[in-house]
Amino acid sequence: MTTEATGVRLECDGPIATVTLCRPEVLNAQTPSMWRAMSEFSRDLPGDVRVVVVRGEGRAFSAGLDLAVVSATGPGSFAELAALPEAECADRIAALQDGFTWLHRPDIISVAAVQGHAMGAGFQLALACDLRVLAQDAKLSMAEVTLGLVPDLAGTKRLVELVGYARALEICTTARRMDAAEADRLGLATLVVPNAELDDAVRDLTAGLVAHQRDAVVEIKALLAGASGRTHAEQQRAEREAQTRRIRDLAGYAE
């Protein structure tokens, strides 16, 4: 199955789906119409998909927000948003966030395949994924502050969870660029590989992610995703309850 939209494409091959940013001529710079299309992908995803890979065509993952959106005056522009009442503007942004947050879904594991620039919205799109495989030429930056903006595509909490408050503050307020080696040291990368090996590395990773029983993988993701918000006793209870469901299911007692 292939779904086409302006600047972004969804392709499904059995349990693995691929979301491709396909504006290589502008380093896959993103627009609100792309975010709305990505939100629709969540509804279009077949039920047997277990892994979603997010990647960019050409030499970059994504250079971030298309600056034409900032200077434009028509529908979907910053000028249009600025003219709205504050609550309505925030609601519009919430709808755009959906293009990123569906990658957190508990029934899938999302993988960003990052080469070249991952700036601003591009960095946040990589952060929206559960796992990140970086090519050695990857450059990451939370660049929104250079436009007088804040990161608003669900990237701030993920960044703090991965690198801690102080480092996240430094990254977001300086907008400096990190290379793949630093991203790896900070815990932002699941794996760093030579550029020529990026596709093979992502293929090997996705094969491993779909190799085992789906319901067990879903339970494990839920346990780990919720662990930071639970006490030790609460986490142990969650483990017991999840294991009980698995034992009953494997024995044929599941409802």
Q: What is the CATH number of the domain that holds 72?
A: 3.90.226.10
pLDDT-based confidence at residue 2 (cuts at 50, 70, 90): very low
Q: Across-strand partners of 62?
A: 118
pLDDT-based confidence at residue 1 (cuts at 50, 70, 90): very low
pLDDT for 70 = 79
pLDDT-based confidence at residue 121 (cuts at 50, 70, 90): very high
Which class for 114: exposed (0-12), middle (13-18), buried (19 or more C-beta within 10 A)? Answer: buried
Percent of the chain with pLDDT over 90: 90
167 and 53 housed in the same domain: yes
Mean pLDDT of the 222-235 span: 96
CB contact set of 246 (below 8 Å; sequence gap of 6+): 215, 216, 219
Mean pLDDT of the 39-44 span: 93
183 and 222 housed in the same domain: no
Say how far apart CA 230 and CA 234 lie, in whole Å.
Answer: 5
194 and 229 housed in the same domain: no
> Strand 16-21 vs strand 8-13: parallel, antiparallel, or unpaired?
antiparallel
Q: Judge whether residue 32 has pLDDT over 70.
A: yes
pLDDT for 74 = 73
pLDDT for 73 = 73
Looking at the structure of the chain, the number of domains it has is 2
Task: Answer for the pair 121, 143: CB distance below 8 angstroms, yes or no.
Answer: no
Which class for 52: exposed (0-12), middle (13-18), buried (19 or more C-beta within 10 A)? Answer: buried
Say how far apart CA 50 and CA 210 lie, in whole Å.
Answer: 7
pLDDT for 71 = 79
pLDDT for 90 = 95
122 and 218 housed in the same domain: no
Say how many C-beta atoms besides its own lie within 10 A of residue 149's C-beta: 13
Q: Judge whether residue 97 has pLDDT over 90.
A: yes
180 and 220 housed in the same domain: no
Residue at 158 is within a domain: yes
129 and 40 housed in the same domain: yes
pLDDT-based confidence at residue 251 (cuts at 50, 70, 90): very high
pLDDT for 195 = 97
Say how far apart CA 30 and CA 62 lie, in whole Å.
Answer: 7
Residue at 237 is within a domain: yes
pTM for the full predicted model: 0.94
141 and 60 housed in the same domain: yes
Say how far apart CA 70 and CA 3 lie, in whole Å.
Answer: 27
193 and 219 housed in the same domain: no
Range of the domain at 228: 214-250
Strand order across the beta sheet in which 117-119 lies: 117-119, 139-141, 178-179
Dihedral of alpha carbons 30, 34, 38, 41, sign: negative
109 and 235 housed in the same domain: no
Averaged confidence pLDDT in the chain: 94
Say how far apart CA 153 and CA 82 lie, in whole Å.
Answer: 17
188 and 136 housed in the same domain: yes
189 and 236 housed in the same domain: no
30 and 89 housed in the same domain: yes
Q: Judge whether residue 197 has pLDDT over 50.
A: yes
Residue at 255 is within a domain: no
